[in-house]
A and B are shown apart, each in its own frame.
Chain A
């Protein structure tokens, strides 16, 4: 990474890490002994079989979770009570990505949390092994392919795109150029009726003070191409509803991105007697889930008009409000739904004159907690409490509509658990199919493709005998 613009960078990002993957280090010596630079002090990290290629780690260590397509070997590993994602890559790339993810975390952007870089790995025979980048597995998150492996609403692709557009705008506002935007490089979390997206692969990214239009447009153009490709692939695998037009979905990203970007950054012109329009603008941004921290207002050169532009915007307007009231840390749309329910509770208990903080405490105790306590244990790692609550509210509404009268919460919960929740279960066969797909894109690991060839190639082909060198001489 060439950090020429470091002097101007957010100091939080500058002080994020001790790791410096400056590209001169590419020629520096590899560490001779195992070295773990970690952002967490989980002692179990030291007991893992670092001397073995990741693709050969014992089954009992692995968490059977669906993985996305990657060019490198990736595995989910149980480490104590945590699940970590491990990616085997070259030391330079691992250090660089760790450093970048640390910086993005300090800027409070939605990315996976980097845990460690493990270098200096060797087999018992002394052969060097590639480095491993360790990140925390984002609980409840799913790669897009896992979402499409289930029966989903036909507009799923569009909802994923909307989440990706928000993520891209947030990263671009913070000066992050991604260089490889795709559905594969993102994890999705359910967020009420929508999704929220989280960056998982920063290999090609760069952090700048601000991005040029060229950087943003290139990112967007590449995102569009990659997304259409990914959807075409799902379509080839008969996992995409036939009504979905891949190119249209790709174009939707471009539209959503541009409209969100201009809502957040455009300058409005008002007459001095139209100052209410400022409030309107702020409200619109709140609806989009953004807080306005700073507003720039100046008079136009003719002295008759006021120019207004948001200077600093922060995502998570509703989720911050809910966090403040209840201590619940949830996605933006979930927060909005929970806040609405809190409002309804306040009205139905005739407590509109009371402090919202006090009402919120009672709502937690009387409504939210009793509901989410009913999540059956086998689903607790599959669905977030806030999402469960949201879906129960939806279900209750449908029940009430069908019955023609209100339905008690307890009854709605039982019905939901019986009728809807089972959709969340993903059987191990589906996970295995998704992971086999993911592995077929791995470029740099002989363990992965040797095994695949053994199963699927019957022409006696042996990759070890691949006459690559000869190919290039003719």
Chain B
């Protein structure tokens, strides 16, 4: 059990002038499952490796359970890197497969048995303890490998994209298992992934990092409901948030021929650097079809529709100057289209122009110059 603290931590690789991790301040609370998420090259793995002791820290300190471990060797830090491809040994029983590392460390036999039995209970492997791996299913084999990390009872678990080498089916299953397991064990965990779905479904809190700089830390719903900047807004959530820049005219966002009311306190925060514009974001589920005479609605040219049974999705181009952008060209990159979730029984036809109204309480507003949240 331990709290982890990154205290103004910086890592600059030799020969680089920009830090890969820049002045990181981050606390992982005792027993917390923190997911560090970000795109490739953002510094998330470097952060994990610094905590593991695999990467040098150029500036700042790292503490585990109040103890400064910044220059300590990996094996002295009482951390466990989970499933770095743990092999299963065919001639050893499940119990021995789980406990042999303790035996090497000289842990007394009774203690090993106790810890193995405890882990087996959590992993539902009790009845298999005296069997060989051959007699297990793939999922059970995977859990024996988890057991090998659990019995060590480390202060911190480190997981670097642990699901990346599993096939799709096992990945979803294991995702649920890891999250549930961590909660039962209550061991402080740092989990690194590029996949925001993994982050949202697993973490107690999520830390989003980009180009070495921490963007936001918070509970999944916090990041989803109140992203601190444009990057987090676009990165968290699937399908992703619709984000567009519009001119501000008389305190309203001008979207094509239409205008949408904006809260005064947000507009007041805009500065000269924003050039009279505002970034408006809304999630696909926070907007809906409006009537043609509805104020505060904008026009959307429908490019594609999807009926998923429970949900319907409209993909379209916001009409900005009276004509939709070249539809066929945009089709190739659906991400650029505005996405609206609607009742699947009320889907418009491709080619229609519809009016869309954003739920004003669910609008995300950002300053174009700083990309920071305004409301």
Q: Could you tell me which A residues sit within 8 Å of B by CB distance?
A: 2-5, 7-8, 22-24, 26-27, 69-72, 89-90, 92-93, 130, 177, 179-180, 182, 184, 203-204, 209-210, 212-215, 217-218, 221-222, 224-226, 228-230, 232-234, 236-237, 239, 247, 250, 436-438, 440-446, 448-449, 452-453, 456-457, 461, 463, 466, 468-469, 471-473
Contact = CB atoms under 8 A, between A and B. Distances in A.
A182 B88 CA distance: 12
A469 B91 contact: no
Contacts of A456: 134-135
B239 to A, nearest CB: 13
Given A233-B92, A440-B134, 10 more contacts: A69-B87, A209-B14, A214-B73, A221-B74, A233-B90, A436-B134, A443-B138, A453-B135, A466-B139, A472-B177
Contact of B176 (A23, A213, A215, A469): A469
Nearest to B238: A27
Contacts of B137: 449, 453, 461, 463, 466
5 contacts: A72-B165, A215-B54, A237-B91, A239-B91, A437-B91
Interface stretch (B38-46, B213-221, B265-273): B38-46
B91 A179 contact: no
B91 A234 contact: yes
A115 B321 CA distance: 53
Main secondary structure of the interface of A (DSSP, over half): helix
Given A203-B165, A471-B124, A8 B40 contact: no
A27 B136 contact: no
B195 A26 contact: yes
B249 to A, nearest CB: 37
A214 B134 contact: no
Nearest to A437: B90
B153 to A, nearest CB: 16
Contacts of A472: 176-177, 180-181
B19 to A, nearest CB: 9
Interface string B155-167: 0000001001111
Contacts of B55: 212, 214-215
Contacts of A130: 167
A436 B91 CA distance: 11
Given A4-B16, A217-B73, A228-B100, A236 B140 contact: no
A8 B135 contact: no
Interface of B: 13-16, 20, 39-41, 43-46, 52-56, 73-75, 84-92, 96, 100-101, 103-104, 123-124, 132-142, 145, 161, 164-167, 170, 173, 176-177, 180-181, 194-195
Nearest to B15: A8
Nearest to B44: A2
Which among A209, A236, A445 has the greatest number of chain B C-beta atoms within 10 A? A236
A452 B131 CA distance: 13
A204 B166 CA distance: 13
**CB-CB nearest 4 A-B residue pairs:** A463-B137, A237-B91, A233-B89, A440-B134
Given A7-B16, A222-B84, A445 B54 contact: no
Which among A213, A234, A445 has the greatest number of chain B C-beta atoms within 10 A? A213
B10 to A, nearest CB: 13
B199 to A, nearest CB: 13
A90 B166 contact: yes
A98 to B, nearest CB: 14
Contact of A218 (B75, B123, B145, B164): B75
A426 B141 CA distance: 30
Contact of A443 (B141, B161, B177): B141
A5 B45 CA distance: 13
Contacts of B14: 5, 8, 209-210
B92 A232 contact: yes
Nearest to B212: A4
Contacts of A237: 90-91
Given A69-B89, A437-B90, A180 B84 contact: yes
Contacts of A71: 85-88, 165
A446 B138 contact: yes
Given A8-B15, A214-B55, A93 B140 contact: no
Given A27-B195, A218-B53, A225-B101, A2 B96 contact: no
A214 B92 contact: no
A236 B94 CA distance: 13
B108 to A, nearest CB: 16
Given A24-B39, A236-B92, A5 B166 contact: no
A292 B97 CA distance: 43
B194 A229 contact: no
B96 A214 contact: no
Contacts of A214: 52-56, 73-74
A168 to B, nearest CB: 16
B164 A90 contact: yes
Contact of A4 (B20, B96, B138): B20
A204 B139 contact: no
